[in-house]
Amino acid sequence: QLPQALQPTDAGVSKSSHRTGMTVEDLKQAFLDNLFYDQGKFPALATQHDYYMALAYAVRDRLLQRWNQTAATYTAEGSRTVAYFSAEFLMGPQLGKNLTSLGIYDRVRDAIASLDLDLDALLDEEPEPGLGNGGLGRLAACYLDSLATLEIPALGYGIRYEFGIFQQDLQDGWQVEKTDKWLRLGNPWEIKRPEWGVEVKFGGHTDSYLDQDGCYRVRWVPEQTVMGIPYDTPLLGYQTATANTLRLWTAEAPESFNFESFNSGDYLGAVYEKMISENISKVLYPNDDSAQGKRLRLTQQYFFVSCSLRDMLRILIGQELPLEKFHEKFAVQLNDTHPAIAVAELMRLLLDEHHLNWESAWSITQRTFAYTNHTLLPEALERWPIDLFGQLLPRHLDVIYEINHRFIDEVRIKFPGDEARLARLSLIDESGERYIRMAHLACVGSHTINGVAALHTELLKQDVLQDFYAMYPHKFQNKTNGVTPRRFMVLSNAKLTNLITEKIGDQWVKHLDQLQQLEAFADDPDFQNTWREIKLSCKRDLAVFIQQQTGIVVDPHSMFDILIKRFHEYKRQHLDVLHIITLYNRIKANPDIDITPRTFIFGGKAAPGYWMAKLIIKLINSVADVVNRDPDVRGRLKVVFMKNFNVKLAQRLYPAADLSEQISTAGKEASGTGNMKFALNGALTIGTLDGANVEIREQVGAENFFLFGLTTEQVYKMRAEGYCPQDYYQANPELRLALDRIASGFFSHGDTEVFKPLLDGLMNHDPYFLLADYQSYIDCQKEVGLAFKDTARWTRMSILNTARTGTFSSDRAIQEYCDDIWNIQPVKVAQPDDVPTAV
Ligand code: TH1
C-alpha cells in the first residue's frame, strides 16, 4: 500500500489523452504534437530524424508513466534492489525495443503509415548507443531486459561515454576507425539528473589524526575533484509495468572549479582543468577481452563506481535505513573486474566517511558484492602498477593493503607454512614490478564468484582461480550466460515469431522453455515448408541489404555461413578463411566439382591497436576480392565482409543464418552469446567444445550440431608436449596449398610481404592451434555441405535447434542469479490501467 504522499503518482497529470493513450489515434496525435512542440518543425521542414525524435518522445511518455509508477512502488515498499555494475552496456537501439515491450508495435506502424511515413525508416534513424565492445556489454543489456521482465528491482550503473565503440570503415580492405558521435543529434531516451550529482575525488595523499573521541583515524587529502552527473534511461520489461533504470555517469568540472585561477587571471588554466575533468567519460576503451593498464582507464573505473556507491548510500539514507542494512537493501554484481575497485571504495566510505569499524564495514562489503569472471585469457586479467594506483587512489591503496594483510593471515591459518601459496594468492603481485591484482580483490571482497558457462567455471576452479577455489570452495558457482528473446527473436525476427506463436501460443516469449513444443512439428512437412520459406525470406531481406551496403550480389538459396564477433586470434576467423581458400582451390583444380554453394558472411571490429586482428580483416577482404570475381567460381562461393558490426546489424544477420561459426580454440572462449542467438533463430552450429557451445550441443543433441577440433585437455596436452605446426603443414597438401597461396601474393596483387606476419605466426608458433584443427574443420564442413543439400534433414535440425535452446534465455540466467546469488524476489508494479485515475 502506497503512503498517502505517494498516491497516486500521477495526481494532477493529464491522462488518457494522447500523452499516455495507446490507441492509434492517440499515438498519431502524440507524434504530431511532439513534432511541432519538441522538434519545432512541421512536415514541410521536418527531416526523417525529426520524425524519429517525435516518435521517440511519444514512446518515452508512455515509458515515464510506468517508470514513475515503478519508482513509487519501490520507494513505498523499500524493495531490495540489484545494482549491476558494468563498465559497458551495449544496449542497442531503443525505439523498436520499447514498442515491443509496450505491445504497440503494430499500432505505431499504422499510426505512422497513416501519415505516409515508414516506421522502418524511422527505426533506422536511431544511432546505436555503442557503449560496449562485445559480449560482455551486450550480456549486461540482456540481463537488464530480463530483470525488468521478471519484475526484479534493479539499477544498471555505468559510464555515459561521449564516444562509444568506434565506427568501423574499410579502406582498401583495411579497417579504419571513425569516432562514434552517437550523441550529436541528442538522445531522447535519457533524462539528466543534475540534482543527484556527486563529487568524486582523486590523487593527493593520506594522513592520520585523532578524532574527538581520541580514536586514531586516517583521512584522505585529495588533490582533484570532479562531478559525476547521472543520466537515467528507463528500461521497460516485456509487457510488464516494471520500468527499471540504467543510470550512466558523465564527468563534469565541479561548479566551484578553480575559482582562484580564474580570478587570478589564469582563465585558460581554469578551462584546462574543466577539460581534464570531462575527459574521464569521453571515450570507451575499445579493447575486448584484454586489459589496458592506462591511468585514464583506472580513473574511469573508480569514477563510476564511486558515483554509484554514493548514489546508493543516498537512496539508503533517503529511505531512513541504517548503513548496517546496506547489503540488505542492495545486491551488487561486479561485471568482471572493471568495477572491482568498488570493494575498496565501499570500505573507505564506511570507514572514513561513516566511521564504522573495520569488522562491520568488511562484513557489509563482503555481503554486498558478487563477482562474475568472464575470461581465462591472461592478457585480460587486470593489474594496476602500485605507483600508478597510489598516485590516483592513495587511501584505497592503504585499504587494499589492510584487506590483504587480514586475508593473508586467513590463508596462513588454513595452509600453514605454504609460502608459495601466500605469494600466489596475495592481492599484490610482487614477482617483479609490484601490481594490484583486481581479480583477487574481487574474489576476497565478494560472497560469490561465478563463471559464465559450465566449462568456463570448471576451468576457473582448476586453473586461473584454483587457489581461491581451494580457499573458498563455497564461493564458486556457474551461471551460464543467456540472451534476451525479446530483442533477438521478437524484435528482429517477426516472421519466425509469428509462426511460433501461431503454433504454440505467445507464452514462450517469457517462458522460453516452451519452445520445446515445436519438437512435435519437426518432421511435419507443412511446418517444415513454412519454416524454410521464412528462413528464405529472411535471407532475401539480408541479400537486399548486402547489395545496398557492399554492391555484392548473393544468392539467397546458397548456404548463409556467418561468423560475426570481435576479431581475435583465439576466435580464429582465419581458420574460416582457410576453409574458403580450400574450397576455392578445389574449384580451381576441378571447375566442375560438386560443392554446396555458400555465402560466407563476416562481421566484427578489431581493437585499433591489435595489429594481427586487423591483418585478418585485410585477409578476408583480399580473399573476397579474388573469389567473388573469379568466373570459374560461377557464383558458388561469395565472401562478404559487412563493416561496422553492431547490435543493429546483428539483428539483421541472426535471422538469416543457416550456419553459425563458433570455432574458437577449446578453452579460450569463456561462453560466447552469439552462439545462442544463432541457434535460437534456427541456425546450425559448427563449433569446438568451447564455452557455451558445450551446453548448446548437449541441449540440441549431438546429431544436430557439427562438432570438430581438439578438446581443452588435448590442447593443454599438446602445448605441454611441444606443438609443432610445421608438421601439419608438411603432412597436409591441401593445407599447404592454402597457406602457400596466401604467401605467394595470389590474394594481394603479388605482394608477398603483407600477410607474412600472419603466416610466420601460424607456421612457427600457432598458439591457437589452427593447423592442428584444420583437417577436422574441413572434414566437418564437408558434412555440413552434405547436410544442407538434404533439405528435409536440415530443416528438422534447424527446428530442433530453436526448440531446444530455450534454456539460453537470459530470463533463466537471471532467475538463477536471483535465487542463488542475490536472494531477491520480484515486486509487482501495477499496470497503468489499474492505477486509480487522478481527480
Ligand atoms: C566476453 C567473453 O570473451 C565471452 O566469451 C563471453 O561470452 C562474454 O564476455 C560475456 O560473458 C568478455 N568480454 C570482455 C571484455 C573486456 C574484458 C574481459 C572480457 S571477457 C574488456
Report d(CA 763, CA 623) in Å as an integer: 20
Contact between 816 and 229 under an 8 Å Cβ cutoff? The reply is: no
Tell me if residue 460 falls in helix, strand or coil.
helix
Give the CA distances from residue 43 to residues 36, 54, 113, 673, in Å, rounded to whole numbers and listed in that order. Answer: 9, 11, 14, 42
Task: Name residues whose C-beta falls within 8 Å of residue 769's C-beta, 6 or more positions apart in sequence.
Answer: 665, 710, 715, 718, 723
Tell me the catalytic residues: 374, 565-566, 571, 673, 677
Q: Label residue 606 exposed, middle or buried (CB < 10 Å: 0-12, 13-18, 19+).
A: buried
Q: Which atom from ligand 1 is nearest to the alpha carbon of 692?
A: 7
Here the cell at position 59 is 514512446
Query: 638: CA distance to ligand 1 center in Å?
Result: 30
The atom of ligand 1 lying closest to the CA of 290 is 17
**Alpha-carbon span 518 to 79, nearest angstrom:** 38
375 CA from centroid of ligand 1 (Å): 6
Q: What is the pLDDT of residues 771-814, one digit of tens each?
A: 999 999 999 999 999 999 999 999 999 999 999 999 999 999 99
Q: What percent of the chain has pLDDT over 70?
A: 96
Average pLDDT over residues 307-319: 97
In tens, the pLDDT along 458-487 reads 999 999 999 999 999 999 999 999 999 999
How far is the centre of ligand 1, averaged over its atoms, from the C-alpha of 372 (Å)? Answer: 10
Q: What is the pLDDT of residue 837?
A: 37
Nearest ligand 1 atom to alpha carbon 452: 11
What's residue 478's pLDDT? 98
From ligand 1's centre to the CA of 133, what distance in Å?
9
Pocket mutation for ligand 1, best pick of 136, 334, 664 (most atoms within 8 Å of C-beta): 136
Work out whether strand 191-192 and strand 205-210 pair parallel, antiparallel, or are unpaired. unpaired
Task: Indicate which atom in ligand 1 lies nearest the CA of residue 372.
Answer: 11
First to last CA, the chain: 19
**CA angle 590–595–598, rounded 5-degree value:** 125
Cβ atoms 27, 21 nearer than 8 A: yes
**Strand, coil or helix: 592:** coil
The pLDDT assigned to 833 comes to: 67
- The residue nearest atom 17 of ligand 1, judged by CA position, is 289
Per-residue pLDDT tens over the stretch 70-117: 999 999 999 999 999 999 999 999 999 999 999 999 999 999 999 999
Structure confidence at residue 506 (pLDDT): 98
Cα dist. 261→202, 269, 277, 709 in Å?
Answer: 19, 7, 16, 64
692-722 pLDDT, tens digit each: 999 999 999 999 999 999 999 999 999 999 9
Residue 835: is its pLDDT beyond 60? no
* Main-chain dihedrals φ then ψ at residue 95, nearest 5 degrees: -60, -55
Name the nearest CA neighbour of 602 among 227, 173, 24.
Answer: 173
Compute the distance from residue 350 Cα to the ligand 1 centre, in Å. 31
Count Cβ atoms below 10 Å from residue 355 Cβ, excluding itself.
13
* CA-669 nearest atom, ligand 1: 5
Question: Maximum distance among all alpha carbons in the chain?
Answer: 92
128 Cβ contact list (under 8 Å, min separation 6): 92, 93, 164, 182, 646, 647, 648
Q: What confidence tier does 1 reach under pLDDT thresholds 50, 70, 90?
A: very low
Give the three cell numbers for residue 268: 585558460
pLDDT in tens, 107-144: 999 999 999 999 999 999 999 999 999 999 999 999 99
Cell 573508480 belongs to which residue? 302
Domain boundaries, the chain: 1-77+102-122, 78-93+128-480+822-832, 492-618+633-710+773-808
**pLDDT, mean over the chain:** 96
Stated as kind and residue range, the H or E segment containing 147 is: helix 135-149
The CATH number assigned to the domain with range 78-93+128-480+822-832 reads: 3.40.50.2000
**Amino acid (1-letter code) at residue 541:** D
d(CA 158, CA 144): 12
pLDDT tens, residue by residue, 148-190: 999 999 999 999 999 999 999 999 999 999 999 999 999 999 9
pLDDT at 805: 98
Mean pLDDT across the stretch 255-281?
A: 78
How far apart, in Å, are the Cα atoms of 380 and each of 133, 226, 289?
14, 28, 5
Within 6 A (CB) of ligand 1 lie: 133-136, 139, 287-289, 336, 374-375, 380, 452, 481, 669-673, 691
Average pLDDT estimate for 723-752: 98
In whole angstroms, give the CA distance from residue 773 to residue 686.
Answer: 13
pLDDT at 743: 98
Determine the Cα–Cα distance for residues 105 and 92; give it in Å rounded to an integer.
Answer: 17
Going by CA atoms, what residue is nearest to atom 7 of ligand 1?
672
pLDDT at 492 over 50: yes
How far apart CA 676 and CA 683 sit, in angstroms, is 10
Mean pLDDT on 258-272: 73
Residue 193 contacts by C-beta under 8 Å, 6 or more apart in sequence?
Answer: 229, 230, 231, 232
Give residue-wise pLDDT tens across range 645-672.
Answer: 999 999 999 999 999 999 999 999 999 9
Q: What are 327-347's pLDDT values in tens digits?
A: 999 999 999 999 999 999 999
Q: Per-residue DSSP letters for 213-231?
A: TS-EEEEEE-SEEEEEEEE
User: Which residues have C-beta within 8 Å of that of residue 767, sequence separation ≥ 6?
Assistant: 569
Q: How far is the CA of 647 from the centre of ligand 1 (A)?
A: 16
Characterize the bridge pairing of strands 154-159 and 706-707: unpaired
Question: What percent of the chain is modeled with pLDDT above 90?
Answer: 92
In this chain, the answer to whether the domains covering 78-93+128-480+822-832 and 492-618+633-710+773-808 adopt an identical fold is yes
CA of 373 to the centre of ligand 1 (A): 9
Q: 737-750 as b/e, with b when 16 or more CB fall inside 10 Å? A: ebbebbbeebbbee
Whether 682 has a pLDDT exceeding 70, the answer reads yes
pLDDT in tens, 209-249: 998 888 888 899 999 999 999 999 999 999 999 999 999 99
Cβ-count burial of 154 within 10 angstroms (0-12 exposed, 13-18 middle, 19+ buried)?
A: buried
If one counts every other C-beta atom within 10 angstroms of the C-beta of residue 87, the result is: 26
- Residue 836: the pLDDT is 38
Fold of 492-618+633-710+773-808: Rossmann fold (3.40.50)
- Residues 562-600 pLDDT 10s: 999 999 999 999 999 999 999 999 999 999 999 999 999
